[in-house]
Amino acid sequence: MHNIQVPAGAVRVWRGYKRKEVELREFFQKSGSVFVPAAVEMERQLGMHVYVPAFPAGIEKPGTVPDETAILFWESQKTYHDAFKTLAERIYVLTHGPLFGPPSTADFPEYLGKTFEAEKPYYLYDTPADWMHGVVTHLVGGRPEDQTPKEFLSHIEAWAHHQQNRKPEGLDGAIICAGTDYVVYWEHWVALEGRNSSIRDLAELAVLILLKDATPVSLPAGLWDDWEGLTITSGDCLNLQFKRRSPFHGG
């Protein structure tokens, strides 16, 4: 698989909340047998570039913290919007409904400037990168009970600006989003060795729910093969490995 860099802002930042009527076992089973592999098989040929889903569901946490998080890089924002011209993308979107309910949402991020708003994703470095290769570290945290939402967001904002200003060697991408009750953060390192991360400082500002490196995973089969899907469990964080369409493709 070739290293293909895309813009920092070409990523959908997903925060998904499991429907209350969906049992946890069913949630994981359908995520592994349909939701995750379908994203790869139905969107990679449309220009999806990277897919890193994680599953805080099942970990002791408030219901205000997402049950699934994900970053989905595309070749460009235009590529993502153009995908909806195809039947494959419109079908894939329908797989969300049986598993996820309000307030599930996804957004493209903005470059972090002077302002920091709740439920708005930001990228810290305006540099192209390939998040499929290297190391992706992901954090999910909740708001401490002794903090107000305003205090919580203020602490997260201060950390994000500090991280943006320090940018250690080998860190070429970082994405953050915070609500009034949670924070999600991803960082991308060129290599495993020599990481000088301050992600532990961010963890200390929240009630830590998940902190791990994404595990590279390849699908063993495709759309037309006989297989049961992936096995997904609570706390998993995956970096899907797949063949991407040519970087010279239009769009």
- What sections of 114-190 are H helices per DSSP? 149-166
**DSSP per-residue letters across 171-209:** EEEEEEEE-SSEEEEEEEES-STT----HHHHHTTSEEE
Report the half-sphere exposure of 235 (CA within 13 A, side-chain side): 7
**Cβ neighbours of residue 87 closer than 8 Å, sequence gap 6 or more:** none
Question: What are the phi and psi torsion angles at 107 (to 5°)?
Answer: -145, 155
Kindly state the average pLDDT of the residues 50-56. Answer: 98
Residue 112: what residue type? L
- Whether residue 85 is predicted with pLDDT greater than 70 in this model: the reply is yes
Reduce the DSSP state of residue 21 to 3 states and report it.
Answer: coil
pLDDT, position 156: 98
Least Cα distance to 72 among 81, 80, 64, 60 occurs for: 80
- Whether residue 232 is predicted with pLDDT greater than 50 in this model: the reply is yes
DSSP character at residue 45 = G
Confidence category of residue 250, pLDDT binned at 50, 70, 90:
very low
pLDDT, position 54: 98
Could you state, in order of their start, the residue ranges of all structural domains in the chain? Answer: 11-241
pLDDT, position 1: 52
The model's pLDDT over 96-108, given as tens digits with 9 standing for 90+, comes to: 999 999 999 999 9
For the domain made up of 11-241, give the CATH fold. Alpha-Beta Plaits (3.30.70)
- Whether residue 192 is predicted with pLDDT greater than 90 in this model: the reply is no
Task: Enter the pTM of the model.
Answer: 0.95
Structure tokens at 211: 């902190």
Lowest mean pLDDT among 151-160, 162-171, 235-244: 162-171
pLDDT, position 247: 59
Lowest mean pLDDT among 105-114, 189-198, 210-219: 189-198
